[in-house]
Structure 1
Amino acid sequence: MIQQACYSRSTKDRIVSSINTPAPMKNPLAKKLKPIKEVQTIRGVQLPIGLEFRQLVITGPPGAGKTYYINQIRGWPNEGYIDLSRKGWWRDQTLIYRPREINLGIPYRGRKEVLTVFDQEWRESPPGSLQIDYQRIRIPPQSHSLLRTNWRDRYIFEFIIPEPEVVYERRRSRQKEGYFPVDANLTLAEVTRQIQTYCDIALYLHRAGVHVCIRHDISEPPMLISEKGDVSLPPWAVADAKPRPNLKTLTGWKQLLLGQSPIPWFSVTDKIQELTGPSRIPHDGKSLDILIGAFHLRLSPEIPMGTSKDYLRFNRNWIVKKPGSCSEVNIRGFARICPGDTVIIGRSNKDYDDLFSFTREVAKRQLSVSNLKGDLLVKPLSDQQRISVVRIEDLDSREQMDASRVMAMRQVRSLLGGKIADLDRTSALSLILEVNEILATESYRPLDGYDLPGGLVELPDEPTPVIIGDLHAQTDNLLKILTENCLFQALKRNNAILCILGDAVHSENIEEMERMDSSILIMDLIFSLKRRFPANVFYLRGNHDDFNPELSKNGVAQGLLLKMELERQRGHAYVEAMQTFYHRLPYMIVSPSFIATHAGPPRAGTTREQIIQIRLNRQTGEELTKNRLKRPHYLSGYGKADIKTLRQAFQASKSTPIIVGHTPLDPFGSVWQNVGGIKNHHIICSSHQNGPACFTRINGKMVPLTYSAEPLTKLINKLKHRP
């Protein structure tokens, strides 16, 4: 049975103490934990099958049972301490001796010194007053070099996080037996806050690529944090993924020194060959097909255009998709397998099943595919159906480019007059005035009391929706989405609708926050798209779509800076036109497939009519652009009940996805699904420097797609013009 939380809601409901009952908190690990199925028993404790004993670092809140656990497995007896904000903490002498119990020093906003959850200053702070400063947390570096230590793989952090009432009763009992200062004046609310903090840290480290597992009790198997279904499994959680080298053989020394696996190499040819056991397929730049009965999947090396050799050396990703090319009527789903990832291909992998619609002949766990520094390790897991491999085409991925993509790049360039660059003053003013006229009679928007398009866009079930989150002046990310997967051609044929959830302006990169050129360029591109596809491109208002002087990031008044730069480059008339554009924007998109807004649902609830009459409901507009998910440090945010109320307002089913931007949960990803433990509540950000993300409908379901970064502004402008 899958554990759904660090602590269960039903347990909290049984707590009746009026003094000690904690305020409800959003559990960051809700529905994200899955038991590790392949385990080994070491001194009576179940541990992951691929884990090396000395990789283990034990941590958790006071009273979790860390000391007992260490004694049971005969680890290092003395507890240690690491300051997560200190540079190079992974080299600390504390971590030399393992397995070992470790307490964590956590950085908080506005406080120079880190705190542990049992420090008096931490215990006396009011609930919600301490906000973890994630930007100060240092992450161990990852290295693929023989001469450098791969600190990321050296440790596996096991968080012991029992249910709050268990820890509370345990600490009360031990306080009766002796003096434990950390247990003095203890309340259940304090225990719950401590557990919440360790859940937050565990999730953050997991997203940063640190090896993390969770355990409620040492009598139970450990669990993985899994935010993408059964898509990404670390090698240490899969049997035989990292076999130990035999140093009595030449093969063993090669495995140790060169990282070579003893699993036999498999040469893919144009002849169909059956896989009868684990096989290693080299990264040679060419695609291959995996055949499971009559079902086919294509695996292709991902080699982004314009990237350096160093990037390709350490980012040998593979793209998984169905064979065939995209078309203007077929936006395709795909997945990515990055170095170090292991994926299970089969019907039990819900994310892959949503993308590829596995037939019944594919087993629930048909095969595993691991990316070992670019090479593929393919391992059959079921004999239900034979697995074969074949090479359909012998072209290197670097030697080919889909003609449809080249055509899309040229057509996108033509939107701005033949070059991806700022428009001249006259052309820019003409363009924005045309867009404002389109907004005055925009399609799919019911009229408000002023006979103007209201704040709601009601889309039909067709064409296929493509949803883009906050772009924050990353023009290349927008170009990537437009030119991939035949999206631009689909827009031309009225087979796709592009929905941008606001905040296309104001870069969030520290060195670019005061520069507005990229903001101006990306809005020129969006305006050009709106003029070209008036009924197929929609832009929602975000909190950054404003000239408000109080709109700032890291002390930079970006709203005012953009206004000043537009006035300098394009004049007062353009600034007034931009202000009109902001006032005419919608705030929410509703369709049979999804509901989307920039920030989230209003706390006080809403109705369809209130969204349409947004000009009369300023508070609703504020919440739709500025609201955030309720968290321990943001108790005024929206929660599960507000999501439910929003669906009810539009008579949408429980399965209808609510998709928002505005609040990226960490700097490592672009998409976060079922956020806050709320099913079908997703956050998307499309401004990541490693590439954008979008949601689209594949096989009747809204699924996320993530793309690699490419310097497309430069590459598109270098394309030769056709005679």
Structure 2
Amino acid sequence: MKNPLHKKLQAIKEVQIIRGIELPVGLEFRQLVVTGPPGAGKTYYINQIGGWPNEGYLDLTKEGWWRDQTLVYRPREIHLGLPYKGFKEPLTVFDQEWLDASPDALAIDFTRIRIPPQNQSLLRTNWKDRYIFEFVLPPPKQIYNQRTERQADGYFPVDDNLSLDMVIRQADAYGEIALYLHRAGLNVYIRKDIRQAPMLISEKGEIALPPWAVAEIKTRASLKTYSGWKQLILRQSAIPWFTITNELQELKRASRIPHDGKSFDVVIGRTHLRFAPEIPLGASKKYLRLHKNWIIRQPGSCNAKNIRGFARIQPEETVMLGRSNNDFDILFNFSKDVAKSHVLISNMKGDLLITPIDKMKPIKVVRLDDHDNREQIATNKISSMMQARSLLGSSIEMLERKEALDLLLEVNELLENESYRPLDSKGLPGGLLHLPDQQTPVIVGDLHAQVDNLLKVLTENCLLEALASNKAILCILGDAVHSENSNEMESMDASIMIMDMILTLKRSYPENIFYVRGNHDDFNPDLSKNGVPQCLLMKKALESTRGVAYVEAMQTFHDRLPYMIVSDSFIACHAGPPRNGTKKKQIINIRNNPLAAKELTSTRLKRPHYLSGYGKAEVKSLRKLFKVAKSTPVIVGHTPLDPFKTIWLNVGNIKNHHIVYSAHQQGPGLFVRIKGKMVSQSYPAEPLMKMITKLQQATS
């Protein structure tokens, strides 16, 4: 297994010296929890900084471990108990059961790890921010040498049968946990050597930094003043508030802008950006209290020719605007008079802290309208919802039996002559879809019966308008059916409904909507999820509501679907590339190659517990097969890596190999091409089925 943190670390530049050790400037000493594999140097490090001398133990599967007495005394060295599949009790990496198990049998069961709740109430503890976990992870060879040398000083039971392979496995286990906790929103950084600056985990596409990695050292507030007491009691900074008006004003020092539901514009050089609070439709007050996000985009509404990207700043994140931020430069195309590092923007519990970096480069702000996003739906959003209603029906619901069968038969005829698909040996559209590069591609992953997520994709960024004017192509990477939510797995109503919607889209825009086959696009009775035979249940539900003829027609639909999409901008399929040696003709003639069909719909990335999957060699071979550039993104679905995100970039340490998941209950993820680059985007969930129905009632 490759190092899980390979190419995911960057040095923290803003550091402070505490007892001879470089630590992030925003870190408070007693936030620190130190962990890592045996022999990494944790004890020496704790002694060096004067931390708590006794080691502690945390069972990460225990509900409320963040309140454990072990964490009362900090800084402290902590050993982690990790859950493994097939093992009832958590294991440390030096437990005998762990050491005796073969590497193939040791797969961390991330679903059993408990994550602290997010709280922003004044009187309640925000457990996610209470601790900062430092993982001490020197190179395995260095750890091995240290453990070998210390044997001369005495007997260390954890060093019995010591080998470099054992050390690598232990270090990788801690690397996996560090990455998982980082993705879960906990404060995590890595230290490879106590003589060097610590490292921040920064996956591709992450444009935000935690405050403790960038914050300046603050002077203690004076308790002789009201503002000093306010800062102490409410933990509010003394940084002054800035009043935005409808006149352009220059911002010359660090200033605070409230989360008041209103948008404002920032001008840096000749680049104009709009900052708007992200307020999803139907969001509860509790959700809005915990998710005071801001969206950054270029001003002006979208249109069919201009599908645009945006950036999001979540609470406790900081972003840097400037030409050296490549991800932002792709999104916003900074003008040359923007500095490489122009301004820092921090989201402090919803309020924005704007800090100039380059004093020679001005920052100007203005409010062009007084619209409160909390009270009124934007005009372009209403227009998109009405367009969706016009296309899909005044109320989003399952079609009547005859109407549904007629629709499916019509789409099957379209698939029999589908555009952009080289013909197989029988003269039928083959398993390969070769898209032109003129239209803007939008790639959606597994939807798993999340109807509102599909509606969210359709009603954002003027996508429906772009599809209607042949300016965009929507690619769905299979598995639109079968909910993965535990309380919905046996119900097929939403699955039937979402397929009605996709079939309607295909009939309306036959050369702009493409659906790739996934492993759930079948009536295979052996396929199940958590013991639920969803394919069989889907077949029975369709037979009951729509008859045997519909089931037969749906099987025809499955059999006529393509398996892979290729264009100059990307390669995409449901699960992953086929094994090395697969020929282009075999993919085109997919009906005669069941092994290739199974791999494209069911394979997974090669991991310690899944050695039969694909890896870097297969991705490289796939690009070579279709004669595309080495940097061409390969985008797949099928395998979400954790329950927190919808997009994972450079997965398996394979450059430009990405996973997209669009069935998350918190909203869908997708890819869209912007300025020639495939850019990941994610949207918050919205109850659009209900909203569109209400819109119909209000306008009728």
What TM-score, normalized by structure 2, do the two folds share?
A: 0.98
Matching residue within 436, 454, 463 for 1:460: 436
CA distance in 2, matches of 1:671, 1:229: 9
Q: Find the residue that maps to 1:388 and give its secondary structure.
A: strand
Name the counterpart of 1:27. 3
Q: Displacement of 1:230 after TM fit?
A: 6.1
Name the counterpart of 2:650. 674
Q: Find the residue that maps to 2:397 and give its secondary structure.
A: coil
Q: Displacement of 1:605 after TM fit?
A: 3.6
Q: Displacement of 1:341 after TM fit?
A: 1.1
Alpha-carbon distance change, 135 to 246 in structure 1, aligned in 2, over 3 angstroms:
farther
Q: Displacement of 1:243 after TM fit?
A: 6.2
Matching residue within 256, 268, 271 for 1:280: 256
Matched letter for residue 457 of structure 1? L
Larger deviation: 305-314 or 639-648?
305-314
CA distance in 1, matches of 2:397, 2:456: 16
Name the counterpart of 2:677. 701
Name the counterpart of 1:442. 418
Name the counterpart of 1:587. 563
CA distance in 2, matches of 1:609, 1:241: 62
Matched letter for residue 182 of structure 1? V
Name the counterpart of 1:112. 88
Q: Find the residue that maps to 2:537 and give its secondary structure.
A: helix
Paired residues in the alignment total 699
Write the deviation string for residues 50-103 of structure 1: whole angstroms up to 9, x where unpaired: 100000000000010000000110111111111000111111111111111000
Name the counterpart of 1:533. 509
CA distance in 1, matches of 2:650, 2:20: 35
CA distance in 1, matches of 2:226, 2:380: 49
Name the counterpart of 2:71. 95
CA distance in 2, matches of 1:471, 1:364: 39
CA distance in 2, matches of 1:359, 1:672: 29
Q: Displacement of 1:297 after TM fit?
A: 0.8
Q: Find the residue that maps to 1:47 and give its secondary structure.
A: strand
CA distance in 1, matches of 2:450, 2:437: 29
Alpha-carbon distance change, 265 to 517 in structure 1, aligned in 2, over 3 angstroms:
same
Larger deviation: 400-409 or 522-531?
400-409
CA distance in 2, matches of 1:265, 1:61: 46
Q: Find the residue that maps to 1:212 and give its secondary structure.
A: strand
Structure 1's unaligned 5+ residue stretches are 1-24
Q: Find the residue that maps to 2:355 and give its secondary structure.
A: strand
CA distance in 2, matches of 1:116, 1:562: 42
Please say if residues 605 and 646 of structure 1, whose CA atoms lie closer than 8 Å, have aligned partners that are also in contact.
no
Matched letter for residue 389 of structure 2? R
Q: Does 1:424 align with 2:382?
A: no
Q: Does 1:474 align with 2:450?
A: yes
Name the counterpart of 2:101. 125
Matching residue within 541, 550, 554 for 1:574: 550
Matched letter for residue 466 of structure 1? V
Larger deviation: 409-418 or 162-171?
409-418
Q: Displacement of 1:627 after TM fit?
A: 0.9
Write the deviation string for residues 595-618 of structure 1: whole angstroms up to 9, x where unpaired: 001111112342322211111111
Q: Find the residue that maps to 1:115 and give its secondary structure.
A: coil
Matching residue within 582, 587, 594 for 1:618: 594
Please say if residues 164 and 192 of structure 1, whose CA atoms lie closer than 8 Å, have aligned partners that are also in contact.
yes
CA distance in 2, matches of 1:379, 1:521: 49
Matching residue within 509, 515, 535 for 1:559: 535
Show the 5 A alignment for 1:205-354. 205-228=181-204, 231-240=207-216, 244-354=220-330
Write the deviation string for residues 334-389 of structure 1: whole angstroms up to 9, x where unpaired: 01111111111112222111111112211121111111111100001112421111
CA distance in 1, matches of 2:508, 2:301: 25
Matched letter for residue 160 of structure 1? V
Name the counterpart of 1:198. 174
Write the deviation string for residues 628-655 of structure 1: whole angstroms up to 9, x where unpaired: 1111221221111111100000001111
Matching residue within 125, 133, 136 for 1:149: 125
Show the 5 A alignment for 1:654-673. 654-673=630-649
Q: Displacement of 1:258 after TM fit?
A: 2.6
Matched letter for residue 463 of structure 2? L
CA distance in 2, matches of 1:70, 1:241: 23
Q: Find the residue that maps to 1:637 and give its secondary structure.
A: coil
Name the counterpart of 1:22. none
Matched letter for residue 21 of structure 2? V
Q: Does 1:716 align with 2:692?
A: yes
Name the counterpart of 2:140. 164
Matching residue within 50, 60, 80 for 1:74: 50
CA distance in 2, matches of 1:704, 1:334: 10
CA distance in 2, matches of 1:577, 1:259: 63
Write the deviation string for residues 116-140 of structure 1: whole angstroms up to 9, x where unpaired: 0000110010012011111111112
Alpha-carbon distance change, 627 to 472 in structure 1, aligned in 2, over 3 angstroms:
same
Matching residue within 385, 391, 404 for 1:415: 391
Name the counterpart of 1:13. none
Please say if residues 240 and 256 of structure 2, whose CA atoms lie closer than 8 Å, have aligned partners that are also in contact.
yes
Alpha-carbon distance change, 243 to 616 in structure 1, aligned in 2, over 3 angstroms:
farther
Show the 5 A alignment for 1:596-607. 596-607=572-583
CA distance in 2, matches of 1:237, 1:632: 32
Q: Displacement of 1:28 after TM fit?
A: 1.8
Please say if residues 605 and 642 of structure 1, whose CA atoms lie closer than 8 Å, have aligned partners that are also in contact.
no
CA distance in 2, matches of 1:230, 1:303: 21
Q: Find the residue that maps to 1:200 and give its secondary structure.
A: helix
Please say if residues 580 and 617 of structure 2, whose CA atoms lie closer than 8 Å, have aligned partners that are also in contact.
no
RMSD of aligned Cα (Å): 1.3
CA distance in 2, matches of 1:675, 1:383: 39
CA distance in 2, matches of 1:644, 1:81: 43
CA distance in 2, matches of 1:162, 1:285: 46
Alpha-carbon distance change, 249 to 121 in structure 1, aligned in 2, over 3 angstroms:
same
Matching residue within 329, 340, 344 for 1:368: 344
Please say if residues 30 and 676 of structure 1, whose CA atoms lie closer than 8 Å, have aligned partners that are also in contact.
no
CA distance in 1, matches of 2:179, 2:145: 26
What TM-score, normalized by structure 1, do the two folds share?
A: 0.95
CA distance in 2, matches of 1:469, 1:243: 48
Please say if residues 269 and 335 of structure 2, whose CA atoms lie closer than 8 Å, have aligned partners that are also in contact.
no
Q: Find the residue that maps to 1:511 and give its secondary structure.
A: coil
Name the counterpart of 1:183. 159
Matched letter for residue 493 of structure 2? D
Name the counterpart of 1:137. 113
CA distance in 1, matches of 2:554, 2:360: 61
Write the deviation string for residues 447-478 of structure 1: whole angstroms up to 9, x where unpaired: 00011000010011111100001101100000
Alpha-carbon distance change, 241 to 415 in structure 1, aligned in 2, over 3 angstroms:
farther
Write the deviation string for residues 320-345 of structure 1: whole angstroms up to 9, x where unpaired: 00111100111011011111111111
Please say if residues 415 and 525 of structure 1, whose CA atoms lie closer than 8 Å, have aligned partners that are also in contact.
no
Q: Displacement of 1:245 after TM fit?
A: 4.2
Larger deviation: 141-150 or 294-303?
141-150
Structure 2's unaligned 5+ residue stretches are none
Please say if residues 229 and 350 of structure 1, whose CA atoms lie closer than 8 Å, have aligned partners that are also in contact.
no
